[in-house]
Amino acid sequence: MTTHATEPSAPRIAVAIPCYNEAAAIAFVIEQYRAALPTAEIVVFDNNSTDGTGDIARGLGVRVVDVPAQGKGHAVQAAFATLKDADVVVLTDGDGTYPAASAQALIGPILAGEADMTVGARRPVEGEKAMAPVRGLGNILIRFAFALLIGAPAGDLLSGYRAFNKRFRDSVRLRKGGFEVETELASEAIGLGYRVVEIPVPYYPRVGGGVSKLRAFRDGRRIFGTIFRQGWRLRPWRMVLLLALFFSAQAIYSESTSTYGKAGLIISFFLLFLDDVLRTKVFRRGKS
């Protein structure tokens, strides 16, 4: 009696492209991902575009999901809900800034079981033309705040080029509808103990010119607010520790505080720091 080995089925790959008014670039982006991932399903999540972005995508035979709630976060939530059966979902932008040629590098660690989320760490290929200086500085400040309040993030914190396995997508809780979504993805990965791998990728200027939809100051405030709220949710004792440090420093340098009082504050701060370290280790061990 002859038995035939069953060949494993090919992994189901999907490419999610959130879009808002990307008519100048969407055809280029779709063709690039078709060439790089010929077996992947490409889905455009049209976020109320008024320039015909969705019609262009449909004309190319791509599935288009209309997302009426305005904001990239809502589009990403729709992508996770729509593509639940995919083994890997690649998230990219519709402006051509991320190269489709790097998609396989993002997918590889996930299929190998080495990562739950991969992040395309942006490396601008034309310097300031690809990323404005104010955004570069903002990224540094946001990464610092994230590391201080939540934990050192793996990868480019605000990168829109990522890939996720099914377990990660089913577990994360995304609440924000705007550009805070990348911050939520990073904090959820830390909070749930998921493995994150960084993959350097080129970062190009937008196809067809134009400006980014992200507004540095408005969206920056929202991102900082999300970091603060996620810090309270995931690392409450770290937040208490930082507040204790702030008020202790004020008291220590105050002439009205006695020597014994200053010593007590230093000891209390050390105990809070030790408690935060122990709680973080127990938390991570419980998630591993």
Q: Please tell me the predicted confidence (pLDDT) of residue 148.
A: 78
Global pTM? Answer: 0.77
Instruction: Write the CA distances from 53 to 56, 94, 138, integer angstroms.
Output: 5, 10, 29
State pLDDT tens for residues 185-240.
998 898 888 999 999 999 999 898 766 666 556 666 777 777 777 777 776 666 66
Whether the Cβ atoms of residue 234 and residue 190 lie closer than 8 Å to each other = yes
Q: Please tell me the predicted confidence (pLDDT) of residue 231.
A: 72
Residue carrying the six token digits 């749930």: 192
CA angle 148, 153, 154 (to 5 degrees): 155
CATH of domain 13-234: 3.90.550.10
Beta bridge partners of 18: 45
The overall average pLDDT reported for the chain is 81
Q: Could you state, in order of their start, the residue ranges of all structural domains in the chain?
A: 13-234, 236-287
Q: What residue type is assigned to position 160 of the chain?
A: G
State the alpha helices, DSSP H only, in 7-165: 26-36, 53-59, 72-82, 103-111, 133-149
Q: Please tell me the predicted confidence (pLDDT) of residue 258.
A: 52
State the alpha helices, DSSP H only, in the chain: 26-36, 53-59, 72-82, 103-111, 133-149, 166-171, 181-191, 216-234, 236-252, 259-287
> Which residues, in sequence order, are CB contacts of 59 under 8 Å at separation 6+?
none
3-state secondary structure of 65: strand
